[in-house]
């Protein structure tokens, strides 16, 4: 694969009223598996240990996400360019953009032989939305009528922990109704023309009946309906996937299986690629950015991706709250030299951020009012910091930046700390965690854990929409999910609701960008840079491709034994 620039956005496939999504490639029949000996090799891929059991609605990080998207199939899926294609769905249509009628293709089965029915989707979505189940991705159902009654309401206490205000009234959402084995309806709280675009994401995958008997046990040995089945999971070591013979969609496995190897050192992973001991590296280490394209040639991948790097500012840290805290948040943003860091550490494979989303997504703007806080301005940063100091002294407190150290984050954190010490005159240190899942587990403890400072954050888009960078990260419905800073602003949420109900994509994008103005006023997070997909593959495989969302399309990779 030669590096190329891709401009992807849901504007290219914006949905109008009475929309019908139809499957590409003949409507649901999967490609014939490779003949014996043709492409039966096991493709080895550098990955990491998933944070949670492999339940779709509880998997909101990349290592587990790569497994889930390959062992499950939803109503639709996204191709390399971000376009929507049907998978299990025959059609998804509406006359008013509020009530959506879903028809499934006949004959789909889970890998245990049980049928995939409309109830498989409705029951899975209701389980995810029901608050006590603690699904990380529950907020993705917030548009459906009856979500609040099933989810309950939450707030943040003085210790930064999520507390229940109102218990759920019901275990099911009133907006979901099973019509037959192959039909169900989805009623939203308001018309939303882009709703079907979201349905290819993992949160919306179906679940077999056996899941509900013991969800935790299921998460260790999931049964899906996707291109692969889980063969084995050796924790902190490797996950092996084998082709699913009963899969009926267009993502049929073109290889003998996938072995996802858990690495804790990206340099070691890259060296294994160079020596022929690994087939695919998803993230080239920063140490090789200046050389990997020459070393790998046509097997190097360097292309824009819908991924944003950031730091989260936790609401539970007293020094970052109130008027003085806002000044500090803006000062910390303006004291980061994004241009220097992206050029020096990443050889241009990162681009300084201008907003909270991604330029890969249609509707992106580099001119959001308030985004001057992303400019490197050490003089203004110091003035703001000093003004905050007069109001509420920071004193000799050490600023901590928490991150995992099994990727290329250590270098930029150290660079940011050096800048803070030089420009703001404060002490700063990195607090590192050996693996990504250890970092996530500590971060998710909130005030009860060790994270009382900034922590590194990032977001790879789930579906191609500006909304996906805003709603799942900064809304009340996401407090128990991906709203890691525990930010709540009713004006911001009202603007997102207005945008979701807009009549056209253009109107929606303008309103989403107005919502970003509110984020720049409050700075619950500090955008850093946009990522390129910087990856590579070995001489032993062909048809390796990375999608708009930074993820490899593993099902189409071929490898001869």
The model carries a pTM of 0.81
**Is there a contact between 408 and 286 (Cβ–Cβ < 8 Å)?**
yes
Domain annotation covers residue 191: yes
- Confidence class of residue 156 from pLDDT cuts 50, 70 and 90? low
pLDDT for the residue 479: 75
Closest by CA to 10, choosing from 448, 463, 500, 339, is 463
Q: Verify that 220 and 364 share a domain, yes or no.
A: no
Q: Verify that 441 and 522 share a domain, yes or no.
A: yes
Q: What percent of the chain has pLDDT over 90?
A: 74
- Confidence class of residue 529 from pLDDT cuts 50, 70 and 90? very high
Q: Verify that 524 and 432 share a domain, yes or no.
A: yes
Q: Verify that 32 and 100 share a domain, yes or no.
A: yes
Indicate whether 8 pLDDT > 80: no
Q: Is 523 exposed, middle or buried (0-12, 13-18, 19+ CB in 10 A)?
A: buried
pLDDT for the residue 161: 67
Q: In the chain, how many domains are there?
A: 2
Q: Verify that 252 and 372 share a domain, yes or no.
A: no
Domain annotation covers residue 155: yes
For residue 117, what are the domain limits?
Answer: 15-260
**Is there a contact between 125 and 119 (Cβ–Cβ < 8 Å)?**
no
pLDDT tens readout for residues 264-305 = 999 999 999 999 999 999 999 989 999 999 999 999 999 999
Q: Verify that 190 and 308 share a domain, yes or no.
A: no
Indicate whether 25 pLDDT > 80: no
Q: Verify that 325 and 251 share a domain, yes or no.
A: no
Indicate whether 219 pLDDT > 60: yes
- What is the spatial distance between Cα 529 and Cα 475, in angstroms, rounded to a whole number? 22
DSSP class of residue 41 equals P
DSSP one-letter string for 469-481: GTHHHHSGGGTTT
Q: Which of 14-18, 49-53, 113-117, 165-169 has the lowest mean pLDDT?
A: 14-18
Domain annotation covers residue 290: no
Domain annotation covers residue 403: yes
pLDDT tens readout for residues 92-110 = 999 999 999 999 999 999 9
Q: Verify that 332 and 459 share a domain, yes or no.
A: yes
Q: Verify that 361 and 213 share a domain, yes or no.
A: no
pLDDT tens readout for residues 297-343 = 999 999 999 999 999 988 778 889 899 999 999 999 999 999 999 99
Indicate whether 400 pLDDT > 90: yes
DSSP one-letter string for 71-140: H---SEEE-TTS-EEESSEEEEE-SSSSEEEEEEPTT-B-TTS-B--HHHHHHHHHHHHSGGG--TTGGG
pLDDT tens readout for residues 11-24 = 333 333 333 333 33
CATH number at residue 460: 3.10.105.10
CATH number at residue 64: 3.40.190.10
pLDDT tens readout for residues 472-491 = 899 987 776 788 888 999 99
């Amino acid at each position: 694969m030669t590096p190329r620039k891709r401009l992807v956005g849901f504007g290219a496939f914006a949905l109008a009223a009475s929309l019908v999504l139809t499957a590409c490639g003949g409507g649901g029949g999967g490609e014939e598996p490779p003949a014996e000996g043709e492409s039966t090799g096991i493709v080895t891929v550098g990955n990491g240990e998933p944070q949670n059991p492999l339940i779709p609605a509880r998997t909101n990080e990349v290592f587990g996400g790569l497994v889930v998207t390959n062992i499950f199939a939803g109503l639709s899926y996204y191709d390399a360019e971000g376009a929507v294609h049907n998978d299990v769905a025959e059609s998804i249509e509406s006359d008013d953009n509020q009530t959506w009628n879903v028809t499934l293709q006949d004959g789909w089965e889970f890998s245990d032989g049980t049928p995939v029915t409309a109830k498989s989707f409705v029951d899975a979505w209701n389980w995810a939305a029901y608050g006590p189940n603690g699904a990380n991705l529950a907020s993705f159902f917030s548009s459906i009528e009856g979500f609040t009654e099933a989810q309950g309401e939450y707030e943040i206490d003085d210790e930064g922990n999520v507390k229940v205000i109102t218990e759920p009234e019901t275990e099911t959402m009133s907006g979901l109704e099973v019509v037959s084995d192959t039909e169900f309806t989805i009623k939203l709280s308001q018309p939303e023309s882009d709703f079907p675009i979201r349905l290819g994401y993992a949160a919306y995958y179906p679940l077999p009946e056996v899941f509900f008997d013991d969800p935790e046990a299921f998460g260790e040995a999931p049964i899906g309906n996707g291109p692969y089945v889980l063969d084995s999971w050796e924790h902190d070591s490797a996950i092996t996937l084998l082709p699913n013979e009963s899969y009926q969609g267009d993502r049929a496995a073109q290889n003998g299986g996938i072995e996802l190897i858990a690495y804790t050192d990206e340099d070691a992973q890259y060296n294994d690629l160079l020596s022929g001991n690994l087939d695919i590296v998803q993230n080239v280490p920063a140490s090789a950015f200046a050389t990997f394209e020459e070393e790998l040639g046509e097997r190097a991948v360097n292309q824009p991706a819908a991924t944003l790097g950031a730091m989260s500012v936790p609401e539970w840290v007293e020094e970052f709250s109130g008027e003085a805290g806002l000044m500090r948040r803006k000062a910390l943003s303006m004291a980061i030299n994004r241009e220097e860091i992206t050029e020096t550490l990443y050889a241009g494979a990162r681009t300084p951020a201008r907003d909270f989303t991604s330029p890969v997504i249609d509707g992106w703007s580099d001119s959001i009012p308030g985004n001057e806080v992303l400019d490197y301005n050490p003089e203004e940063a110091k003035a703001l910091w000093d003004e905050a100091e007069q109001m509420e002294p920071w004193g000799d407190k050490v600023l901590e930046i928490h991150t995992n150290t099994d990727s290329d984050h250590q270098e930029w954190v150290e660079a940011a700390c050096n800048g803070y010490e030089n420009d703001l005159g404060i002490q700063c240190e990195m607090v590192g965690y050996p693996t990504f899942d250890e970092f996530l587990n500590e971060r998710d403890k909130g005030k009860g854990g060790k994270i009382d400072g900034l922590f590194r954050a990032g977001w790879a888009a789930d579906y191609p929409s500006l909304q996906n960078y805003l709603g799942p990260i900064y809304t009340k419905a996401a407090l128990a999910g991906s709203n890691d800073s525990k930010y709540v602003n009713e004006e911001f949420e009202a603007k997102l609701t207005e945008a979701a109900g807009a009549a056209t994509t253009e109107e929606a994008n303008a309103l989403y960008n107005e919502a970003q103005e509110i984020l720049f006023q409050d700075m619950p997070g500090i955008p850093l840079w946009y990522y390129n997909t910087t990856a590579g593959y070995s001489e032993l495989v062909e048809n390796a491709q990375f999608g708009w969302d930074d993820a490899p399309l593993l099902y189409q990779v071929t490898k001869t034994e």
